[in-house]
Amino acid sequence: MITFAGVTKRYPDGTVAVDHLDLEIPAGRITVLVGPSGCGKTTTLRMINRMVEPTEGTVTVDGRDVRGVDPATLRRGIGYVIQQAGLFPHRTIVDNIATVPYLLGWDKKKARARAYELMERVGLDPALARRYPAQLSGGQQQRVGVARALAADPPIMLMDEPFSAVDPIVRAGLQEEFLRLQRDLEKTIVFVTHDIDEAVKLGHRIAVFQVGGVLAQYATPDELLARPADDFVTDFLGGERGIRRLRFFKELDAEESAGAADGGGAAARAGSDGSESDRAGDAAAEGDGRTAAAER
C-alpha cells in the first residue's frame, strides 16, 4: 500500500501544487489520478519515487517512509512509464528493455532473455529486438516503455499519461493490452491521465483532483459516476455521465464473462457485486435514473 499523510508540495514562489493530501492506494490495484492541467496529479505521482520531495507530510510504501530510502535504490524498485516512452535512441529495443536489469547487475544473457520474454508479453514481434526506437511506431515505442518498466518485476508501477501521445485506435489497443497484463501480474499501479473515459476504463479507484492540488473525490468508477461529491466533480465528469456509467457496466460484464474478475478485480471496480438490482438502486438514487444522469 502507498499512503500519503498530510502531504503538501509548495514551491519557493508560493505555488501550492498539492494541498494537504491524505490518500491510501491499495496494493495490486490500478489507482488513477485524474483532473485538469495544473491540479497536481503528476506532482503527486512523482513524490512516490522522490523525483519531487514533499514540503510537508509523509509518503510511505508498505509503511516505510520513502525519504528513508536512497532515491536511486527506490527508483530501481519502481517501474516508471512516461508519455513519450523516454527510450534511449542509441540503444536497441532489447537493450532498452533490459536497462534496469543491467543497472541491478544482471548478466547480459539473463537480462536479454527477460527482455525477449517481456516483448512477447506486451505484444511486440521479437524481430524488432535489434531495431532502434526511431524505427518503431509510437504505439510500439509505448509498448517498449511498458516492457522496460516491468523488466525487474517491480511491485509498483508509476504511469504518467503513457498512452496520450498515440492516436485513439492505437490508444484503445494499448489500454486493452495493459488491462490484460494487469490481470496476470497484479501490480500496484498509479496511473495519471487527464481523460475521464480512460480513468473509468482502467481504474479500480479514481482520485479526482482540482486545480490547487486538492483531492475532490476518491472512489470506485461506479461510485464516482453514480454519486459525484460536488459541483466540480459533476462538471468534470461532463454531461455524458450516465452514458459513461452504462458503458462502464457493459465493459465490466465483458471482463466478468472473460474471467477477468479473478481476485475480485471487477467487483472492486464496481464497488458492489454489480448485480442488476444494485444498478437499478443506484439509478433510482440519482433521481430520474439514466436520463437524469445523462442530462447532468
Q: What is the pLDDT of residues 260-279, one digit of tens each?
A: 444 445 556 666 444 443 44
Percent of the chain with pLDDT over 90: 59
Confidence at 163, pLDDT banded by 50, 70, 90: confident
**Domain, as residue range, for 246:** 236-296
Using CA of residue 241, residue 246, residue 249, residue 251, what is the dihedral sign? negative
Put residue 6 in one of left, alpha, beta given phi > 0 → left and psi -120 to 50 → alpha: left
The pLDDT score that the predictor gives to residue 174 is 85
Residue 276 lies in a domain: yes
Residue 2 lies in a domain: no
The pLDDT score that the predictor gives to residue 168 is 83
Residue 245 lies in a domain: yes
- pLDDT tens digits for range 234-251: 999 987 766 666 666 666
Which of 86-90, 99-103, 238-242, 251-255 comes out lowest in average pLDDT? 251-255
The pLDDT score that the predictor gives to residue 106 is 94
Single-letter amino acid, residue 125: D
Residues 82, 84: Cα–Cα separation, whole Å: 6
Residues 85, 93: Cα–Cα separation, whole Å: 12
Confidence at 165, pLDDT banded by 50, 70, 90: confident
Alpha helix segments (H runs only) across 127-264: 138-150, 168-185, 196-202, 221-226, 231-237, 241-257
Residue 180 lies in a domain: no
Residues 17, 56: Cα–Cα separation, whole Å: 12
Count of domains forming the chain:
1
Contact 67, 50 (CB under 8 A): yes
Highest mean pLDDT among 154-168, 203-217, 233-247 belongs to 203-217
Among all chains, which residue has been given the C-alpha cell 454489480?
274
Confidence at 218, pLDDT banded by 50, 70, 90: very high
Residue 21 lies in a domain: no
